[in-house]
Amino acid sequence: MKRSKQDIQRIKKILVPQLKKAGVTRASLFGSFARGDYTDTSDVDVLFEPPDMMSLLGLVRLERELSNAAGRKVDLVTFRSVSPLLKPYIEKDLAPLL
């Protein structure tokens, strides 16, 4: 089922303040939320550039905080960690957050 842009804006309003608080300056939605075809059980996929000093523990903490704020699972993927095989598929869906 296609969702409205209003639904997508709502999730952006939840995620952006948390991302900024963590020092993230570049982030985009991708996957079903970016396309607008997510379901009630879909997770939220976020491609982002972590701050230079963010540790793995910091990344896990941010992912948990975003999931709690959004009320659904949020998966964080860094720009550097994207597989070259998946990159074209991810890039075609990108919806900028920051």
Eight-state DSSP code of residue 72: S
The pLDDT value recorded for residue 3 is 56
Confirm if 69 and 14 have CB atoms less than 8 A apart.
yes
Q: What is the pLDDT of residues 41-83, one digit of tens each?
A: 999 999 999 999 999 999 999 999 999 999 999 999 999 999 9
What is the rounded distance in angstroms from the CA atom of residue 17 to the CA atom of residue 26?
A: 13
Residue 23 has pLDDT above 60, yes or no: yes
Strands 95-96 and 44-49: unpaired
The pLDDT value recorded for residue 21 is 95
CATH of residue 11: 3.30.460.10
Structural domain for 59, as ranges: 5-96
- Per the rule left: phi > 0, alpha: psi between -120 and 50, beta: everything else, 71 is left
| Number of structural domains found in the chain | 1
